[in-house]
Amino acid sequence: MSLNAGTAVGRGQATADSGTDVAYPVPAPFGFFLFLVFILVSYLQLGSRWALFDAVRAEFVLGLLLSLLALFALARRDAEFHVTAVGKWAIVLVLLLLAMSFLSIDPVRSWGVFVDRVFKFAMLALFIPAFVTSPSRLRWFLVAYLLVCAKLGQEGLVGTLTGSMMWENQGVPRLHGSTPIYMHPNSFSGMAVGSLPFVLFALPLVRGKWRVALVVILLMLINIILRTGSRTGYIAFVVGAVWFAAHTERRLRAMFLLVLVAITVVPFIPEEYIGRAATIFDRPELGEGSSGKRLEILYDAWAVFQARPFGVGVNAFPVIREQWFGRVQDTHNLYLEVATNIGVQGLIVFAGLLIAMFRSLRRTRREVEADLRELGWQPGSSPPKPDSPDPVGAHVTDLLWIRAASSAFIGFIVVRLLLGLFGMDLYERYWWFAGGGAIALWNLRLAAGRRTAALKATLPDGPVPDASERAGQSSGR
């Protein structure tokens, strides 16, 4: 795996092997480094692990500095940067959440959630497009994210083997996370399921030690999904796996592997987990057991939405539920959380953001595939060697990474929407992470398109040879 093939070394500067003056913008190298550090600090919650990071408020300081650097970087890019429909919907959602903090039935509670979660996490939608501006930076960004997955996966594996992170929850021993945001088994499972698309779509593009590393991460994530005993995670995993198999180039092989994994893994799943998963299909009594209480919450949430269709305020549903019904648990459903908290208008804006993300990512993937065809790439072919001196081969490698990342973000959103059927995720970082990724990839695609056109103009007339063959010829194979 090469992290630098086919990328520019400076703004407006072509790569040494491109033969063109078309390059990717790479502003603020120091800012990009701090951004990678921020990903590690934020997702691993280093402030909760090391007193020094908490004392100096490392995440806050990094976030503040990155905000300034990101705005400066985007201002320098001016016409080169496109906010896209995703960015516009994201801005509208932030403004709506701000308004519903002031209009809340409990403004103090709502304002605290807006500052601590909405505004803080929304910065990801600014940071990712500002700093992930080239295929090389995209790969480093994915490396940083997968390092987080590796660390959390390692902790989950050690916690499973030693029993240090396994204790009873809802009648069965379940694996818990080591950080506050992933302490609950459902959250830990959601992290693992949501990370799978990035591992799976990267696997075909790497070789050697990188492929081994991804397989190890994949196995550790599957361990988390199995051992957390999250019924929501099981559903998302199964549906997500089928979705992945349907969207990969080698569908039959993917389906075969899924069946093989199921046959291999299922016999080793403890009976208590199978019994817990089977309760998904039970018909619970209202208010009794975990499923019955969730059903009771859904009835209460629907009653609140009917009575207050324009919302009760950011994170204010537990307040009104206690006032009306004497019960305090939150919605345990993303869609009812949106409906009860920010109302009909919130459902429209949130749906608009989701649709914009799907359309942007699908269009990015579709147009990248068109670029690949322009350069002679055949679907299902092996990627060019990462160290290929051929500029077309290097550019094909970059395009394949952009396509893989687009597919991974689509899979991530699909998984999060499935998990949202049983979880409250409106104020989490997921939507800003996906939105920032969609904006960054669209801008990458625009730069890649200009590069494709420039490289196509340097090729001889007639049929374009297969890019992987060109890469082999250039390296003397």
Confidence class for position 275, pLDDT limits 50, 70, 90: low
Domain boundaries, the chain: 29-474
pLDDT, position 330:
85
Confidence class for position 130, pLDDT limits 50, 70, 90: very high
Q: What is the pLDDT of residues 340-396, one digit of tens each?
A: 999 999 999 999 999 999 999 999 999 999 999 888 877 767 777 656 677 888 888
Report the alpha-carbon distance of residue 353 to residue 97 in Å, rounded. Answer: 14
pLDDT, position 276:
60
Confidence class for position 180, pLDDT limits 50, 70, 90: confident
Report the alpha-carbon distance of residue 228 to residue 169 in Å, rounded. Answer: 10
Average pLDDT (71-99) is: 89
pLDDT, position 88:
95
Nearest to 250 by CA among 212, 284, 201: 201
Confidence class for position 273, pLDDT limits 50, 70, 90: low
Cross-strand pairs, 167: 174
Of 401 and 57, the structure prediction assigns the larger pLDDT to 401
Report the alpha-carbon distance of residue 46 to residue 37 in Å, rounded. Answer: 11
| Torsional class of 163: left (φ above 0), alpha (ψ -120 to 50), beta (otherwise) | left
Report the alpha-carbon distance of residue 84 to residue 254 in Å, rounded. Answer: 33
| Torsional class of 24: left (φ above 0), alpha (ψ -120 to 50), beta (otherwise) | beta
For 143, half-sphere exposure in the C-beta direction (CA atoms, 13 angstrom radius) is: 18
> Of the ranges 212-221, 265-274, 297-306, 448-457, which one carries the lowest mean pLDDT score?
265-274
Average pLDDT (145-151) is: 95
- Residue whose pair of structure tokens reads 């799978």 in the numeric block: 196
Percent of the chain's residues with pLDDT above 70? 80
Average pLDDT (104-119) is: 94
Q: Is the pLDDT of residue 7 over 60?
A: no
Nearest to 427 by CA among 41, 54, 115, 44: 115
Q: Mapped to the 3 state alphabet, what secondary structure does the chain carry?
A: CCCCCCCCCECCECCCCCCCCCCCCCCCHHHHHHHHHHHHHHHCCHHHHCHHHHHCCHHHHHHHHHHHHHHHHHHHHHHHCCCHHHHHHHHHHHHHHHHHHHCCCCHHHHHHHHHHHHHHHHCHHHHHHHHCCCHHHHHHHHHHHHHHHHHHHHHHHHHHHHCCCEEEECCEEEECCCCHHHCCHHHHHHHHHHHHHHHHHHHHHCCHHHHHHHHHHHHHHHHHHHHCCCHHHHHHHHHHHHHHHHHCCCHHHHHHHHHHHHHHHHHHCCHHHHHHHHHHHCCCCCCCHHHHHHHHHHHHHHHHHHHCCCCCCCCCHHHHHHHHHCCCCCCCCHHHHHHHHHHHHHHHHHHHHHHHHHHHHHHHHHHHHHHHHHCCCCCCCCCCCCCCCCHHHHHHHHHHHHHHHHHHHHHHHHHHHHHCCCCCCCCCCHHHHHHHHHHHHHHHHHHHHHHHHHHHHHCCCCCCCCHHHHHHHHCCC
Q: Is the pLDDT of residue 463 over 60?
A: no
Whole-model pTM: value is: 0.87
Average pLDDT (170-194) is: 88
pLDDT, position 204:
87
Average pLDDT (136-165) is: 94
- Mean pLDDT score of the chain: 83
pLDDT, position 217:
94
Q: Which amino acid is at 200?
A: L
Of 107 and 385, the structure prediction assigns the larger pLDDT to 107
**Contact (Cβ atoms closer than 8 angstroms) between residue 424 and residue 330:** yes
Q: Is the pLDDT of residue 20 over 70?
A: no
Confidence class for position 56, pLDDT limits 50, 70, 90: low
Of 114 and 27, the structure prediction assigns the larger pLDDT to 114
Average pLDDT (393-407) is: 92
**Contact (Cβ atoms closer than 8 angstroms) between residue 394 and residue 385:** no
pLDDT, position 468:
46
Report the alpha-carbon distance of residue 393 to residue 386 in Å, rounded. Answer: 8
Q: Is the pLDDT of residue 23 over 70?
A: yes
Q: Is 237 exposed, middle or buried (0-12, 13-18, 19+ CB in 10 A)?
A: buried
**Contact (Cβ atoms closer than 8 angstroms) between residue 224 and residue 236:** no
Q: What is the pLDDT of residues 414-455, one digit of tens each?
A: 999 999 988 888 999 999 999 999 999 999 999 999 988 888
pLDDT, position 475:
39
Confidence class for position 8, pLDDT limits 50, 70, 90: very low
Cross-strand pairs, 10: 13
pLDDT, position 198:
95
pLDDT, position 361:
96
